[in-house]
Amino acid sequence: MGVKVKSHDVEKRGKNYFQVLIDNNDDTLFRELSGRDYGIDGIVEVFDKGIPTGKICYVQIKSTDIQIVPLKTFSDFVSCPGISESNLSYCKQDKIPIYLIYNSLKDKNSFYYYKLNGKEIIPDSRIRVPIVNRCEDDITSFLYEINSFYND
């Protein structure tokens, strides 16, 4: 018989919290990718008054069961777990935006986002995410980022 792993439970609950925040917005929908996890956990699809726009982004969700707090030495950032080298290959393309989503089970109404496309990221090293990239209940800034990728 298998053993339930705490990290898997945290990841699943974190995805669920993110999905609720995305799906509660009339202009977005979260589609979880099921099956084996190769780095992309889901797709966020953007709508305009219920009509599909064709704008999507991939998300990799990192979740924790502790409170996320700003760094002591760089208080304008939070520190997010890194991404494996194999998963970084997704970030080399520039056709679809890819966002790292970082959330805490202690605060299910918020998440941090960080665009990964075009960034030089050292595999498995922690990633500094600006605290201004925090959505709490309102995902307007995240939605703006996605739209900007396609409007540039």
Task: Give 81-128 as a DSSP string.
Answer: ----HHHHGGGG--SS-EEEEEEETTEEEEEEEEE-TT----TT--EE
Q: Tell me the CB-side half-sphere exposure of residue 25, using CA atoms within 13 A.
A: 23
pTM over 0.85: yes
Dist. CA 80–CA 125, nearest whole Å: 9
User: Which two structure tokens, joined as six digits, stand for 99?
Assistant: 């966002």
Dist. CA 121–CA 131, nearest whole Å: 19
Per-residue pLDDT of the chain (152 residues; tens, 9 = 90+): 555 567 788 999 999 999 999 999 999 999 998 766 667 899 999 999 999 999 999 999 999 999 999 999 999 999 999 888 877 877 888 899 999 999 999 999 999 999 999 888 888 889 999 999 999 999 999 999 999 999 87
Dist. CA 102–CA 113, nearest whole Å: 6
Q: Which residue has the tokens 């990221």?
A: 121
Find out whether 47 and 27 touch, Cβ atoms under 8 Å: yes
